[in-house]
């Protein structure tokens, strides 16, 4: 199994190109199920989750052609309406085939995702919304069986804000009969990116970017061309790395407005940030200052940046409090960061971090995607060698991370 070996302490400088967003690419690939025409997609990132999604969609009969930066999907020949457990267990986002399959073909069988390292993550809101649209749903032997001759528009208020829940219901509603109103909709930029693609395919959606989406169903959607937005979490991860290690790096093909809350916190920590239309430059020369925050839905501080920012706080001058409000078990990185010399205590859903002068390299274990990224940041800043095991978590969501980090001066290599 691959591991990452990091020899820490190298200042980072130069330029990095940010990839397309994982969490936008995954629903957008599923939107290929909604039309028989070609969907032309640019800026799809090279990640394990994208390969898994393409494999799953291929099993359903979606034709996928990749040619340089262009991915072409064709859904004229969908032959299977099932997402099996073997695929769903490796990637929760597989649940995103449910809405499109049901809307276009009137039927779907999708494995229940089950819990994962960061929390129990049920999909009850996806099911509740589809039932409100007239779907008959039953659960048997770990599978969701859904049927509906034609989905009907409905007013749906989800119990909490759910990103993939909003995306699934949006993809169902665009082909439903009549008007659907999604209240309490997620406003994450990735939801907006999906909605913009659907509009380009002929969908009628109002309120894009707000928590109140109004969708008027159409009989069919047509092909379109769309470029996936930049990955704000990859962007934030590189910014935290530079803030923790020191240096001067420009991130290209990304936008600052995608992560305002995290940028504010980085400025509080002492990073100097400048940005243009499609780039962000980060400069860091001093020891970071401790910064407290709580994770919330967009446009608040993203839970997917909590672990990486915590690695920075570990080295900061002062004490910080980090509160996780989205997932009930997203502090798996704490024990591993403490093994590198951090001083973190947990009280309920808050981590109390007393800044230390340095990390000391050690073997550590990646436990989930963003926990892995926090260990990479810690390893880059640490004295000596850090060996990170189980980096398949990292490969799920980062596009050639060690290659990008090496290109700006990090001493990092993939070892067997
Ligand atoms: C592929 C993708 O886009 N993943 C992102 C998505 O995950 P995902 O869409 O799975 O996360 P949700 O927004 O749905 O989850 C938010 C909270 O709602 C709960 N919940 C959700 C749905 C439901 O039916 N019932 C329920 O109880 C979850 O357990 C969680 O506590 O948004 C998360 C929150 O920004 C991010 O961390 C993930 O990176
Ligand atoms: C939790 C994440 O992804 P997923 O929802 O795919 O598990 C993430 O991207 O940090």
- The DSSP bridge partners found for residue 291 are none
| Average of per-residue pLDDT values in the chain | 97
Q: For ligand 1, atom 2, which residue shows the shortest CA distance?
A: 23
Mean pLDDT of 115-143: 95
Can you give the pTM of this predicted structure?
Answer: 0.98
pLDDT given at position 240: 98
Number of the ligand closest to the Cα of 370: 2
Alpha-carbon distance 195 to 229, whole Å?
12
pLDDT given at position 116: 81
3-state secondary structure the chain: CCEEEEECCCCEEEEEECCECHHHHHHHHHHHHHCCCEEEEECCCCCHHHHHHHHHHHHHCCEEEEECCEEEEECCCCCCCEECHHHHCCCHHHHHHHHHHHHHHCEEEEECCCCECCECCCCHHHHHHHHHCCCEEEEECCEEEEECCCCECCEEECCCCCHHHHHHHHHHHCCCECEEEEECCCCCHHHHHHHHHHHHCCCEEECCCCCEEEEECCCCCCCEEEECCECHHHHHHHHHHHHHHCEEEEEECCCHHHHHHHHHHHHHCCCEEEEECCEEEEEECCCCECCCEEECCCCCECHHHHHHHHHHHHCCECEEEEECCCCCCCCCHHHHHHHCCCEEEEECCEEEEECCCCCECCEEECCCHHHHHHHHHHHHHCECEEEEECCHHHHHHCCCHHHHHHHCCCEEEEEC
Q: What is the pLDDT of residues 17-75, one digit of tens each?
A: 999 999 999 999 999 999 999 999 999 999 999 999 999 999 999 999 999 999 999 99
Residues contributing to the annotated binding site for phosphoenolpyruvate: 22-23
Q: Which of 48, 51, 53, 304 to mutate to test the pocket of ligand 2 (most atoms within 8 A of CB)?
A: 304
Cβ neighbour number for residue 373 with a 10 Å cutoff: 29
* 125 CA closest ligand 1 atom index: 24
| Widest CA span in the chain | 63
Instruction: Tell me if residue 116 is catalytic.
Output: yes
Cα 156 to ligand 1 centroid, rounded to whole Å: 17
Cα 387 to ligand 1 centroid, rounded to whole Å: 30
pLDDT given at position 350: 98
- The DSSP bridge partners found for residue 152 are 177
pLDDT given at position 179: 98
* 396 CA closest ligand 2 atom index: 6
Mean pLDDT of 351-380: 97
For residue 98, pLDDT over 90 is answered with yes
Number of the ligand closest to the Cα of 186: 1
ipTM of the complex: 0.99
For residue 225, pLDDT over 80 is answered with yes
Cα 233 to ligand 2 centroid, rounded to whole Å: 10
Alpha-carbon distance 177 to 151, whole Å?
6
CB distance 304 to ligand 1 below 6 Å: yes
**Contact status, residue 236 vs residue 262, Cβ threshold 8 Å:** yes
% of the chain exceeding 70 in pLDDT: 100
Alpha-carbon distance 271 to 101, whole Å?
46
pLDDT given at position 114: 76
For residue 229, pLDDT over 80 is answered with yes
pLDDT given at position 115: 73
**Contact status, residue 309 vs residue 328, Cβ threshold 8 Å:** no
Q: Which of 296, 325, 326, 332 to mutate to test the pocket of ligand 1 (most atoms within 8 A of CB)?
A: 326
For residue 105, pLDDT over 90 is answered with yes
For residue 233, pLDDT over 80 is answered with yes
Q: What is the pLDDT of residues 263-321, one digit of tens each?
A: 999 999 999 999 999 999 999 999 999 999 999 999 999 999 999 999 999 999 999 99
How many Cα atoms are found within 13 Å in the side-chain-facing hemisphere of 131? 13
């Amino acid at each position: 199994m691959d591991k990452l070996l990091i020899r820490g302490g190298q200042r980072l400088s130069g330029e990095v190109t940010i990839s397309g967003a994982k969490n936008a690419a995954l629903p957008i690939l599923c939107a290929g199920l909604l039309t028989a025409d070609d969907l032309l997609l640019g800026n799809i990132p090279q990640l394990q989750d994208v390969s898994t999604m393409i494999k799953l969609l291929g099993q359903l009969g979606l034709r996928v052609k990749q040619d340089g930066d262009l991915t072409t999907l064709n859904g004229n020949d969908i032959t299977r309406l099932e997402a099996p457990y073997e695929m769903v267990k490796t990637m929760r986002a597989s649940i995103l085939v449910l809405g499109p399959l049901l809307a276009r073909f009137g039927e779907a069988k999708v494995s229940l995702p089950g819990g994962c390292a960061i929390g129990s993550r049920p999909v009850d809101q996806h099911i509740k919304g589809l039932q409100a649209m007239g779907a008959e749903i039953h659960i048997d032997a770990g599978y969701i069986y859904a049927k509906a001759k034609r989905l009907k528009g409905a007013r749906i208020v989800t119990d909490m804000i759910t990103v993939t829940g909003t995306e699934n219901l949006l993809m169902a509603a665009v082909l439903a009969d009549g008007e659907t109103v999604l209240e309490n909709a997620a406003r994450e930029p990735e939801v907006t990116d999906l909605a913009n693609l659907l509009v380009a395919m002929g969908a009628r959606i109002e309120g894009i970017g707000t928590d109140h989406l109004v969708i008027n169903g159409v009989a069919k959607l047509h092909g379109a061309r769309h470029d996936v937005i930049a990955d704000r979490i990859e962007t934030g991860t590189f910014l935290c790395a530079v803030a923790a290690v020191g240096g001067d790096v420009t991130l290209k093909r990304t936008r600052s407005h995608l992560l305002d809350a995290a940028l504010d916190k980085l400025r509080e920590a002492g990073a100097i940030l400048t940005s243009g239309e499609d780039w962000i430059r980060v400069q860091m020369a001093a020891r970071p200052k401790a910064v407290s925050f709580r994770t919330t839905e967009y446009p608040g501080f993203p839970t997917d940046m909590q672990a990486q920012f915590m690695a920075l706080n570990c080295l900061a001058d002062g004490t910080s409090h980090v509160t996780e409000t989205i997932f009930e078990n997203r502090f798996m990185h704490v024990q591993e960061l403490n093994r590198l010399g951090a001083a973190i205590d947990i009280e309920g859903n808050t981590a109390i971090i007393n800044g230390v002068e340095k990390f000391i390299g050690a073997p550590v274990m990646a436990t989930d995607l963003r926990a892995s990224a926090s260990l990479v940041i810690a390893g880059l800043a640490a004295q000596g060698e850090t060996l990170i095991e189980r980096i398949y978590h990292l490969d799920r969501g980062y596009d050639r991370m060690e290659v990008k980090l090496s290109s700006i001066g990090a001493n990092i290599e993939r070892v067997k």
